[in-house]
Amino acid sequence: MSAPQSPPSEWQYVAAAYLVVFVAVLAWIAIIGAKLQRLQRQLAELVRRAADRG
Amino acid sequence: MAVVSRTLAQNRVAAVGLLATVLLGSAVALIFFYAPTDPDQGFSQRIFYFHVPVALTAYACFGWGAWKALRVLWKRDEAADLESYVAIHQGVIFGALTLLTGSIWAKASWGVWWTWSENQLVLFLVLFLFYCAYFMLRFSVEPGPSRANMSAVYALFGVVLIPISFLAIRLSQKFIHPVVFTLHGPQMAGSQFFTFCVSLAGMLALFATLYAVELAGKRADADIRELRALLS
């Protein structure tokens, strides 16, 4: 038998709203970080290719 | 200290990012330790300090995207096409956050996650979906001047929805969505308005940072593609 669940209180809704914004910004930073790493790899490859050409 | 200020002066993106961090950090402190609890709505009214600035920032993103779109059509400014795209992309992110935070606030205040009888909510959803469709249009056309023109025209059409969405609750006869900004000024205490302004400034600074970083990334991507083509 499960215990009855009480509805979320007001502060839980407020915390959820602020958490949504915070998580979105963090996700955005992670995506941009991954993109920067990809650009760095591609640039390093191009530098190596240019060096091979002399 | 001198090194930090010199670095910030040379790197405007870092300066705006730092400003956004300081303003949003201050806004959170003001929201929870300075602004009084609203006598009508109680503690859940504190969602207002992020929800409304996020919505206004979404409008600002779409407005900025439309301005850049106008430059594409008017001045034949090729760089403005990418700038318009990035602004609209940011607008869709802030728009999604507006819908999410608004939905949470609606559940806390009205007891429902969404209501179709509210013009403000439905019009914002229409605006959001309109700009979501912008990406479908843009990526269904080959890159080039015709894609830039079509995207620009679409972005300009969307901006018409902004004043309609903003005025919807003021024109509506029957509403439960609160109206805070009226012709008689903001309907809130001075401390609440100050907190709201700090939060709005923080959100706009956050948009400026995200916009500049995404734009720099897209430009670097294009440069690398060009370099690869030259080396192959």
Residues A35-49 have pLDDT tens digits of: 989 999 998 988 888
Q: Does B51 touch chain A (CB under 8 A)?
A: yes
Measuring CA to CA, which residue among B212, B203, B206 is closest to residue B11? B212
Categorize the per-residue pLDDT at B26 as very low, low, confident or very high, splitting at 50, 70 and 90.
Answer: very high
pLDDT for B40: 81
Q: Mean pLDDT score of chain B, rounded to an integer?
A: 88
Q: Does B163 touch chain A (CB under 8 A)?
A: no
pLDDT band of B165, cuts 50, 70, 90: confident
Residue B32: the pLDDT is 92
**pLDDT tier at A5, thresholds 50, 70, 90:** low
Residues 100-159 of B with CB under 8 A from A: 100-101, 104-105, 107-108
Q: Looking at beta carbons, which residues of chain A come within 8 Å of B228?
A: 42, 46
pLDDT reported for residue B137:
93
pLDDT higher than 70, residue B183: no
So what's the pLDDT on residue B164? Answer: 79
Structure tokens at B226: 């060009």
Task: Give me the percent of chain A exceeding a pLDDT of 90.
Answer: 39
Question: How many angstroms separate the CA of residue B74 from the nearest CA in chain A?
Answer: 32
Q: In this predicted structure, what is the pLDDT of residue B170?
A: 65
Indicate whether A3 pLDDT > 70: no
Other CB atoms within 10 A of residue B11 CB: 12
* Virtual torsion, Cα B158, B164, B166, B168, nearest 10 deg: -140
Lowest-confidence pick of B29-33, B56-60, B88-92, B109-113: B109-113
The per-residue pLDDT for B97 is 96
Q: What's the CA gap between B7 and A20, in Å, rounded?
A: 32
Q: What distance in Å separates residue B170's CA from the closest CA in chain A?
A: 25
Q: At what angle do helices B12-33 and B190-231 cross, to 10 degrees?
A: 150
- What average pLDDT score do residues B76-92 get? 93
pLDDT for position B77: 85
Residue pLDDT, tens place only, A6-29: 667 888 999 999 999 999 999 999
Distance CA B128, CA B162 (A): 10
Asked if the C-beta of B217 comes within 8 angstroms of chain A's C-beta atoms, the answer is: yes
In this predicted structure, what is the pLDDT of residue B94?
96
Q: What is the mean pLDDT of residues B60-70?
A: 95
Q: What is the pLDDT of residues B197-209, one digit of tens each?
A: 999 999 999 999 9
3-state secondary structure chain A: CCCCCCCCCHHHHHHHHHHHHHHHHHHHHHHHHHHHHHHHHHHHHHHHHHHHHC
Is it the case that residue B173 has pLDDT exceeding 60? no
Contact flag A17-B51 (C-beta cutoff 8 Å): yes
Return the pLDDT at B169. Answer: 61
ipTM of this predicted structure:
0.80
Round to whole Å and give the CA distance between B114 and B76: 42
pTM above 0.80, yes or no: yes
Q: How far is CA B47 from the centre of its chain?
A: 17
